[in-house]
Structure 1
Amino acid sequence: RLVKKSAEILGDVLEEWVHGEIEPTAQDDSEATYCWQKDISKENAEIDWESMEPEYIERMVRAFIPWPIAWTEWNGKRVKLFDVDLVKFKNDRGAGDLFIDNDDLLFATKDSNTCIKVNKLQIEGKTKMEAEEFVNGFRDKL
């Protein structure tokens, strides 16, 4: 959406800039924030189901694309999460438990009313896959 909006106003903004109608404003560096990629390690991307809020986990998955990719352990293998959604789902499972409900692949969270629905993932040693493929191939292990 941002690209589309930017394209719509770019011509007018450039014309105003060329004619000196736009007054530049210097950024206050003391107010600036940044994240240097080297400050983030793979260990920072590990999901701690016991302590992290569901909303934090969902945002973490989005933030760590394309690197370092949020991950968790399942059956002794690292599982990278590429696309997830928050869903309201009352359950009594332990935080971090992976289960299937109506063909949806879900992780229980510390909030017994909210789960993380997995849409796209990658199991260590396998290629990236849609959750549906995982459910079809690993249903008997859940």
Structure 2
Amino acid sequence: MGTSLDSVCVLSKLIQLDIEISAVFTRLSKPSGRGMKVNNSPIKDYVDNTNIDLFQYNSLINNKEAYRKLKNISPDLIIVADFGLIIPIEILRLPPLGCLNIHPSLLPKYRGPSPVPFALLNEKKFTGVTIMLMDEGLDTGPIVTQKNVEFLCQENAGSLTQRLFQLGASLISDILFSWENGQIKAIPQNECNATYTNKLSKEDGRIDWSHSAIEINKKILAYTPWPGAFTYWKGKRIKIIEAELCHTSSRGNYSNGFVFQLDNKLHVMTGEGSLILNKIQLEGKKIILVKEFIQGYNDFTHAKLG
């Protein structure tokens, strides 16, 4: 069960290992964008090029058809990777080996829908991935295995999520035989250490330039690609796609959010230190290097962002 490109990574790994895949369940494709075009999920596009049966649903709650199909398939094990739908207890109880979920955090920390952004915002050096035996709760099931993953320099949520699911796919393949033969026992999570994340909104990405450059840089990394870290200039939204910390003193007399040039780089003043802008995206435009952007908008230098 999965939907995203990260789910494709897991499925392709299982196929490479010659593991029999009876079927794939995914979310129903929805219209999106200005033209309200129906775009297939990455896993649907992938499965359409295989001989694997694919089933799409908006919800599994009280869904008799989905339950009946799963019961007829009679899977030994269900593997869940970035599915995006609640799986009811009657489905969780169907496979004799249970439902294993790949969760991109070191549970019980960062349960919920946004574990990678929250880890990037709050942790200094590492996060991890957990294989969990699913129960009725929100990421509360016992832990089958997990592994630490160190942050790479300037790694954003998109690339880190991809790495975590790639590792999760490897962990699943490593433990499948032992799990099937009862050689691994899942360990209950320590509820005292549990933390939760919430679903991000677009407004979460708005930058407050009174915060330190370190905090803002973390926010840019944590909220890329979604919802994106952004600010406003002349009433238009600008996404900060890529930035870096300035390691020299550059306070001057500049106010927070003021754009200035130093050593051939474009800086924005923050509450503590300055942030160097590398790539940005003006509302309605494509992502562009800052040095190219200021050729068309030379008044951006000495602008005030807010």
Q: Which TM-score tier does this pair reach, normalised by the shorter chain?
A: 0.7 to 0.9
The alignment covers a number of residue pairs equal to 137
Q: Give the TM-score normalised by structure 1.
A: 0.76
In the other structure, the counterpart of 2:224 is 65
- Whichever residue aligns with residue 108 of structure 1, its letter is M
* Residue ranges of structure 1 left out of the alignment (5+ in a row): none
Larger Rg: 2
Q: Report whether the alignment pairs 1:106 with 2:267.
A: yes
1:75 CA displacement = 3.5
1:71 CA displacement = 1.2
- The 5 A counterparts of 1:1-40 are 2=164, 10-29=172-191, 31-37=193-199, 40=200
* Residue ranges of structure 2 left out of the alignment (5+ in a row): 1-162, 302-306
In the other structure, the counterpart of 2:239 is 80
Deviations 1:13-36 (A, max 9, x none): 223222322221123456433323
Distance 1:102 1:75, change over 3 A: farther
- Whichever residue aligns with residue 47 of structure 1, its letter is I
User: CA contact under 8 A between 2:259 and 2:300: conserved in structure 1?
Assistant: no
**Which of 21, 26, 47 is the matching residue for 2:207?**
47
In the other structure, the counterpart of 1:127 is 286
Root mean square deviation, CA, Å: 2.5
Which range moved further: 122-131 or 11-20? 11-20
Give percent identity, aligned residues only: 33
Which range moved further: 78-87 or 94-103? 94-103
1:60 CA displacement = 0.9
1 CA distance for matches of 2:186 and 2:257? 49
Deviations 1:103-129 (A, max 9, x none): 322211122xx3211222111232221
By relative contact order (CA 8 Å, sep 6+), the higher-ranking structure is 1
- Whichever residue aligns with residue 201 of structure 2, its letter is S
Q: Give the TM-score normalised by structure 2.
A: 0.39
User: CA contact under 8 A between 1:103 and 1:135: conserved in structure 2?
Assistant: no
